[in-house]
Structure 1
Amino acid sequence: MRLSPPAAALPLILAASPAMAGRPVNPFDEPDESELFRTEQELVTVASRYAQTVRQAPSIVTVVSAGDIRRSGFRTLSEVLGSLPGIYISVAKESRDLAWFRGVTSSDNNKILLLIDGVPWYDGVYGHAWIDEYLSLDQVRQVEVIKGPGSALYGTNAFAGVINVVTWDGRSLDGGFVRLKAGSDGRVGASAVFADDITVRGHALSVRAHARVLSADGDGLDTVPRGRRDVQGLDPKRAINGGMRLEFDGLSLAVDLVDYRHTYFVNEQDDVLDVLLNSPDEFALNYRNAFLAASYDVDLGPMGTVRPYLYSQRHDNPGLYGWFSNSAVEGDEAVWQTTLVETAKDSARHGVGVEASLVPAASHAVVTGVGLEAVHVLELEDRYFEDLSHEPSQPSTFSAPPGWITDAFLFGQYTWTASWWLELTAGARLDYHSYFGPFVSPRMGALFVPAESVLIKLLYGRAFRAPTARELLVEVGVDSTGANLFTNGNPGLEPEIIDTIEAELTVNPSRLIELRGAAFVSGIDQEINKSTVPDPVLGSEYYANLGGALAMGTEFEATFTSGAWEVDASYTWTEARDRETGNRIYAFPPHMAHGRIGVRPVEPLSLALLGDAYGVRPRSEWTPDSGLDDGPPYGLLHAAVAVDGIAGGRVTADLSVRNLLDTPTSILIPQEDANAVNSDGTAKYPVDIEGEGRTIQVDVEVRF
């Protein structure tokens, strides 16, 4: 759903249109009004750093501004993404939101690349991209989303899509605000954002700082997938965020801190011991993360810029959970059978490189760069403390030795504005990975502007996802029969590959209406899945490159804007199938529709009604033993109220209602559990994950 026409991040696209009012434009002569998408390893500002309307930008790029977020009542990045065509939001049993783009699914959310101000944010063990309460939307100026491959510039994980979260800066905010929020299910929070440009001894200094605290009991499950009760029905989350960025004479320094925790929310709580062992204060998954980024812009005048950069991230993600088994009797005494699990997931990610954006002539633009990224696995182990023991069981049944995973890369892209109606782009990136060696990601595209109101785009791109530390390095134990207790890592894995061809048409029949249609075909190869074919080294279950998938689809979107009214509607059809079995991709709905009606009846008041509709979600083809059916279709309504201009324009008040009608919904259980059966042949996990009911939140913001 395209909600407004702010400056768009066109350089992420293979063919970026400089056509404005039927004439060519030198992008480096245009105002620098937006922070654009960058590559995975570096902060690259590519050929089109200029303000564009959504009509002029390829519609594959969707930009959602802070105002759009407020007026739509979005609370998390996942809610923003879930309103866009072709994106479906699922949830992991660890209570982490997952974004699936165009039929490409992942249980670790590592087939999309998340950037914060152009810097990649994902952990070094699973490659997970956080899109839920881990991030604060209060610091966000706009969210830029691309559907499609991006590895030619961004490297690994830019597989099915790229998301760039652009935060406030001194040019865009010029001051600050404090925001308080309270809502359903024990949700309370407070945040503060400050950004300003000041002059120090004749030099410009830009300062940005933000802080956020959040606590939410959450709307959890009444019945867990096993069919047993969760008497508390909570999904608790706690978050503390803080950060600062300084920019001075071309030098940029940024520091961010995240302290986030949540619990597994699919564990039963039907006795007093279960309740005690699910307390979020003691038993939780924790994320204690720190991010440092630095860069320096060297201005080459009309030739462009050169930017050396580096970043360093620490992802210390410990966890703790436990359970009681049936008690045993030894002699005349009952003996507790307990299991306490300490999970150590500690890694660091480092990146260094140099990139350049050059304009050798007015109609030619070149982007190039070289760099190195390294993942350092510091500690990766699950420790089991059995039956009140003070020492963990040895050896560990889930661990990896400390080690490094490195990736050196070189990329280049050339854009030629052939005429006022045609632009051509071609580029490629070469990665050399320490485990699987070289990989090339090409891209090419053509953009046509046959008339001022018509835009046509043809694109091809290849992308990859490198295997993670979990998939490469983890060594697991075996049970009494010699079978692996968990899925073993495989250091011989190759990267997953996706090739995509896209076409898009945008037409503006009038100043009030925009119509868009797009189609894509993607072929996925070397998918990393679990193999159960016995291997003499890896055992009975391990990660392997198995088969692939084929996905194709279309999108249709219509936008109407007139005075106080804004109306947007979209429909997406996706046909995604596993190549080996021919089955439809598990749980991804082939049919999705979204709509939004916004109106400003009076100037300070904004009202919005949003709707989402999802078709049948495929499952029955994958569950011959358990007999679980496909997921039923469902629809949701949401409402939002935003009031500006209170107290002389310094105060705003917002009300958001998600799932307005309190419609019962569900997320399908993970595919790995769907066909599991009990000894009597019945489904082991017969109940799907209950969706969130109606929730209400009120925000009050004071600006200064």
Structure 2
Amino acid sequence: MVYGDADSVSIATGNLQTLRRAPAVASVVTAADIAAMGATDLDHVLETVAGLHISRSPNSYTPLYIMRGVFSQYAPQVLVLQNGVPVTTLYIGNKGNVWGTFPVEQISRIEVIRGPGSALYGSDAFSGVINIITKGPAEAAGTEVGLRLGSFQARDAWVQHGGKLGPIEIAAYLRTGTTDGQHRTLEADAQTRNDTLLGTHASLAPGGVNTGGDAVDLNLEAGYGQWRARFGYKLRDRQGSGAGIASALDPVGVGRSERINTSLGWADAQFSRNWGLGASISTQSYAQELDGYILLPPGTRFPTGLFPNGMIGIPETWERSTRLTAYADYSGFADHHVRVGIGHDDLDLYRTRERRNFTYTANGTPVPLPGLADFSDSNPFMRPHKRRIDYLYAQDEWRLATDWTLTAGVRHDRYSDFGGTTNPRFALVWDATFDLTAKLLYGRAFRAPSFNEAYSLANPVARGNANLKPETDRTLEAAFSWQAQADAQINLTLYRYEMSNIIRLVPNMMAGTGSTFANQGDQTGHGMELEGNWNVNRELRLVGNYAWQRSVDEATQKDAGYAPRHHLFGRADWQFGGNYTLSPQLNWVAGRQRATGDLRKPIADYRTFDLTLSTRRGKNQWNFSAAVRNIFDADAREPTLAPGLALPFDLPLAGRSFSVQASYKL
């Protein structure tokens, strides 16, 4: 523990390991870290992780998790897990457009792997893996109630409890919240350009973005011996349309998503002398419904006619997933720890519905209809689809010598719709000295096409392609962890990756008929990540990281665009007066480039400063915190995709905001 082994991580191999010796480049954010930084949402927390940046999508202002310069429209290249189970939705392949927020009060820790993880986790563990671990019965012991008020009419209240009911360990959490959302001004939108071309005046820009919404979160956990059951309910209602589903301001359109997760697992690490066994079944039910989404505002006119009530389109999806997995650990071989596992996923997008007040001409131009019509059966944006996956993986942790460990693993996935893929990884870890550990890692990863990319139908702008193959990635990493002294640690990572078969929209051969998804293009990237923490004394702790990356589109030999080349984060935690902590922090995002063909002005860098004052009095006491984010009201913006004709001035982030919080632990 003196040499930094107090932190541990489980997602690197499936077994709990010290962070310094784990065969991956990993970071851990604890509940204490979250409290110190005054975070009120998961995205605030993830922005502090080296190599990870939170961007935004125009559609609902959905957060995009950008790892090591890998940027795309929906960012499905980062796999998000909750207690080890994917929260991936089938339609667009990420966590869902109507994601809203994720509360932090019930988070025990967040484990993040930067780099490929498909050898253990399969699809989407492409540029990284994020595992959100919620508080169990021991960590949530007793009962806590809390209330938070903040800018934008934000109000949150929660209660959580941990304890025992006879021999059963119980943890429960309930939270409800609402916010009007930030309304920073969007100077121009997609309709602004249409007005210029067609001589109309329909655009609502300049105008504020639409980012409010309501939330309900319920989580239950029960443990009995080697058994553990979980139930989760996540409702997001009245979620604003952001900058508009079609990048045109829509102040009235709202979305609703309902997510229900269940899991039942059994694990016994000491099933017999040399064997550990485990198995689990998990399900996810996800529905995404929209209310009155206006693609283009009232007064929109095309050569085919006028839309007096606006151009309205309402695509909705319902899906369910069932995942079964089992593994066996064997330690009977000298200096080896072997794990083998199997699994089956049954993924079913079982219902789609689409209502709209327009149809299309042969070249994709919208034609107004007299009212809203249901196209679910006649001409939907997508029909129901199923996908089944069977997989098998094996992993060996081999202690080569006293200070050397080689971890080798491989996983084969067989998809019902596009075939099989095999992805290996190797990790050599060397404890060079008591205070220095070095790692050399190589891994391959893949991302399966989403249902939208493969099976989209009645969308003249973006048609699906059932012949798509997975995106692939190969990454080489060298990492060094130096315990400079008992209370100071420095980590350095160097990496290089090669992406192939990137799924992109490609113009159709026939002019005027939109684009189709295709495996088109390659990308390479390299970079470094520097992390450090220093307990200066009992009152002061400093933490920070700096990431630099350069990603290149191989077709043009130009910067791939959008992701920051430079990202710096720093925080100081100063404890004073016995029970108070003052935590200032800085977030600097710089060097974002436009992609080839995007002639807009360069994307401006930004710096935001936050400050949190909190108390930690312990059991049977009130705890308070007050936070201000973006103290100097910086005009921070996230880029929109090329060519920038829809949103020429990018997406404005929230300005200065305040929050105060009180909680009571019984």
Number of matched pairs: 628
TM-score when scaled to structure 2? Answer: 0.89
Cα distance in 2, alignment partners of residues 335 and 58 from structure 1: 58
Counterpart check, 1:342 vs 2:324:
no
For 1:244-300, what per-residue CA distance to the aligned partner results, in whole angstroms no more than 9, with x for missing partners? 11111322221111111312221499xxxx99x633xxx312111111111222551
Cα distance in 1, alignment partners of residues 289 and 111 from structure 2: 31
Cα distance in 1, alignment partners of residues 211 and 298 from structure 2: 24
Counterpart check, 1:291 vs 2:261:
yes
Cα distance in 2, alignment partners of residues 308 and 569 from structure 1: 38
After TM superposition, give the deviation of residue 102 of structure 1 in Å: 0.4
Counterpart check, 1:509 vs 2:473:
no
Residue aligning to 1:481:
none
Change in Cα spacing, 1:206 to 1:519, as seen in structure 2 (3 Å) is same
Cα distance in 2, alignment partners of residues 553 and 222 from structure 1: 34
Which residue among 534, 553, 558 is the counterpart of 1:578? Answer: 553
Q: Is the 8 A contact 1:384 1:396 kept in 2?
A: no
Q: Is the 8 A contact 2:353 2:376 kept in 1?
A: no
Specify the SS of the correspondent of 1:360: coil
Counterpart check, 1:661 vs 2:632:
yes
Cα distance in 2, alignment partners of residues 405 and 620 from structure 1: 34
Residue aligning to 1:452:
434
Which aligned pairs between 1:498-577 and structure 2 lie closer than 5 A? 498-534=473-509, 540-561=514-535, 562-577=537-552
Cα distance in 2, alignment partners of residues 58 and 354 from structure 1: 22
Equivalent residue letter for 1:68: D
Q: Is the 8 A contact 1:5 1:63 kept in 2?
A: no
Q: Is the 8 A contact 2:562 2:639 kept in 1?
A: yes
Specify the SS of the correspondent of 1:378: strand
Aligned Cα root-mean-square deviation (Å): 2.6
Counterpart check, 1:96 vs 2:62:
yes
Counterpart check, 1:257 vs 2:229:
no
Cα distance in 2, alignment partners of residues 585 and 278 from structure 1: 33
After TM superposition, give the deviation of residue 390 of structure 1 in Å: 5.2
Q: Is the 8 A contact 1:104 1:160 kept in 2?
A: yes
Residue aligning to 2:355:
383
Change in Cα spacing, 1:253 to 1:240, as seen in structure 2 (3 Å) is same
Cα distance in 2, alignment partners of residues 441 and 106 from structure 1: 22
Equivalent residue letter for 1:441: N
Equivalent residue letter for 1:285: G
Specify the SS of the correspondent of 2:331: strand
Which residue among 545, 559, 578 is the counterpart of 1:603? Answer: 578
For 1:610-668, what per-residue CA distance to the aligned partner results, in whole angstroms no more than 9, with x for missing partners? 11112221016331xxx30220222111111111217x742110111111111111111
For 1:106-159, what per-residue CA distance to the aligned partner results, in whole angstroms no more than 9, with x for missing partners? 322311111111111111211222696432211101111110000000001100
Cα distance in 2, alignment partners of residues 309 and 303 from structure 1: 21
Specify the SS of the correspondent of 2:186: coil
Cα distance in 2, alignment partners of residues 423 and 513 from structure 1: 25
Residue aligning to 1:591:
566
Which aligned pairs between 1:207-218 and structure 2 lie closer than 5 A? 207-218=170-181
Cα distance in 2, alignment partners of residues 571 and 133 from structure 1: 28
Which residue among 591, 596, 616 is the counterpart of 2:591? Answer: 616
Equivalent residue letter for 2:485: S
Which aligned pairs between 1:187-206 and structure 2 lie closer than 5 A? 187-198=154-165, 200=166, 204-206=167-169
Q: Is the 8 A contact 1:398 1:486 kept in 2?
A: no
Q: Is the 8 A contact 1:92 1:670 kept in 2?
A: no
Counterpart check, 1:80 vs 2:45:
yes
After TM superposition, give the deviation of residue 337 of structure 1 in Å: 4.8
Specify the SS of the correspondent of 1:69: helix
Equivalent residue letter for 1:296: W
Cα distance in 2, alignment partners of residues 311 and 220 from structure 1: 38
For 1:87-116, what per-residue CA distance to the aligned partner results, in whole angstroms no more than 9, with x for missing partners? 111100121011100011132231111111
Residue aligning to 2:286:
315
Which aligned pairs between 1:87-236 and structure 2 lie closer than 5 A? 87-94=52-59, 95-129=61-95, 133-198=100-165, 200=166, 204-226=167-189, 228-229=204-205, 231=207, 234-236=210-212
Equivalent residue letter for 2:564: P
Q: Is the 8 A contact 2:414 2:421 kept in 1?
A: yes
Counterpart check, 1:652 vs 2:652:
no
Specify the SS of the correspondent of 1:153: helix
Unaligned runs of 5+ residues in structure 1 are 14-44, 329-333, 478-484, 677-683
Cα distance in 1, alignment partners of residues 139 and 531 from structure 2: 29
Cα distance in 2, alignment partners of residues 564 and 390 from structure 1: 63
For 1:518-556, what per-residue CA distance to the aligned partner results, in whole angstroms no more than 9, with x for missing partners? 1000000000000114279x9651100011100100112
The structure in which a higher percent of residues are strand is 2
Equivalent residue letter for 1:244: L
Specify the SS of the correspondent of 1:78: helix
242-251 vs 448-457, which moves further: 242-251
Change in Cα spacing, 1:421 to 1:327, as seen in structure 2 (3 Å) is closer
After TM superposition, give the deviation of residue 388 of structure 1 in Å: 5.4
Unaligned runs of 5+ residues in structure 2 are 193-203, 359-368
Residue aligning to 2:224:
248
Cα distance in 1, alignment partners of residues 437 and 524 from structure 2: 27
Change in Cα spacing, 1:56 to 1:158, as seen in structure 2 (3 Å) is closer
Q: Is the 8 A contact 2:210 2:241 kept in 1?
A: no
TM-score when scaled to structure 1? Answer: 0.84
Cα distance in 2, alignment partners of residues 97 and 225 from structure 1: 21
After TM superposition, give the deviation of residue 393 of structure 1 in Å: 5.4
After TM superposition, give the deviation of residue 409 of structure 1 in Å: 0.3
Equivalent residue letter for 2:46: L
Equivalent residue letter for 1:305: G
Cα distance in 1, alignment partners of residues 73 and 383 from structure 2: 24
Cα distance in 1, alignment partners of residues 370 and 6 from structure 2: 58
Change in Cα spacing, 1:568 to 1:519, as seen in structure 2 (3 Å) is same
Specify the SS of the correspondent of 1:83: coil
Cα distance in 1, alignment partners of residues 149 and 178 from structure 2: 10
Equivalent residue letter for 1:468: S
After TM superposition, give the deviation of residue 602 of structure 1 in Å: 2.5
Residue aligning to 2:29:
64
After TM superposition, give the deviation of residue 571 of structure 1 in Å: 1.8
Q: Is the 8 A contact 2:354 2:374 kept in 1?
A: no
Specify the SS of the correspondent of 1:389: strand
Runs of at least 4 residues of structure 1 off by over 6 A?
none
Change in Cα spacing, 1:619 to 1:396, as seen in structure 2 (3 Å) is farther
Specify the SS of the correspondent of 1:416: strand
Q: Is the 8 A contact 1:357 1:366 kept in 2?
A: yes
Change in Cα spacing, 1:326 to 1:172, as seen in structure 2 (3 Å) is closer
Cα distance in 2, alignment partners of residues 352 and 115 from structure 1: 15
Equivalent residue letter for 1:347: E
Change in Cα spacing, 1:335 to 1:256, as seen in structure 2 (3 Å) is closer
Specify the SS of the correspondent of 1:152: helix
For 1:543-601, what per-residue CA distance to the aligned partner results, in whole angstroms no more than 9, with x for missing partners? 00011100100112232113211112322110101111112122111111111111102
For 1:190-246, what per-residue CA distance to the aligned partner results, in whole angstroms no more than 9, with x for missing partners? 111112244x3xxx3111111111101111231254265354554212111112111
Cα distance in 2, alignment partners of residues 510 and 525 from structure 1: 42
Specify the SS of the correspondent of 2:632: coil
Residue aligning to 1:432:
414
Q: Is the 8 A contact 2:21 2:429 kept in 1?
A: no
Cα distance in 2, alignment partners of residues 335 and 444 from structure 1: 58
Residue aligning to 1:374:
346
Specify the SS of the correspondent of 1:79: helix
After TM superposition, give the deviation of residue 310 of structure 1 in Å: 1.0
Cα distance in 1, alignment partners of residues 245 and 58 from structure 2: 12
After TM superposition, give the deviation of residue 457 of structure 1 in Å: 0.3
Cα distance in 1, alignment partners of residues 323 and 307 from structure 2: 52
